[in-house]
Structure 1
Amino acid sequence: MKSFTTRAVFLMALLSPALLTSPLVHAADQVAAAQVSDAELAGKVKAALDSDADLKKLNLKVTSKQGEVTITGTMTDDQQMYNAGVIAEKVSGVKYVINNMTMAQ
């Protein structure tokens, strides 16, 4: 019995590195990294937009998924929408900007 337990422990020790390098574990790590990156990118874009006094007062919402950034909120003139898009495009990591800002009524 003792030799069986020792073999089982030894076998598990050998398999542990294989389990850690399995594609499923890496896929989960990549998803977690993408989520962090998306949140960080959205934060960077939000900070860039808020550095513009005219846009900061609009309190725009920014989301990101795999480098695609979406801006939502209301604007008082078309120039604000244009400026938000230009600023967002300049942030490192942004691949595409979807500007869903709408005119305030």
Structure 2
Amino acid sequence: MLLMEALGSGLLGLALAGTASRILATRLPSTRTVLVSGVVGALFGAYLTHMSLGPGHNTLFATLLGGAGVSAVVLSLLLRPAAGPGRSPRRTPFSLSSGG
């Protein structure tokens, strides 16, 4: 059962990351970073869900749902703001504004 949870979560995280990298390609870093982050987030989420449910309450659906949730959170942390009108496309991290 544990192998099915790990494989299912890994594939679910890969699918979620692949979809995000196709749809939001301009707002995400390199595809390799997105795919690795999605899979690692899903595996960590599955582990966290499996351990928090405890013995005797391990269901495959709940574990996959937890893995997908953590993977989505990790992928959302990789998003950069969209460059819109009046917004500079690149800004150095932790920079202070020069306007007064």
TM superposition score category, shorter chain reference:
0.3 to 0.5
Structure number with the higher strand fraction is 1
TM-score by length of 1: 0.38
| Higher gyration radius (CA) | 1
TM-score by length of 2: 0.40
Q: Which has the higher contact order (CA 8 A, sep 6+)?
A: 2
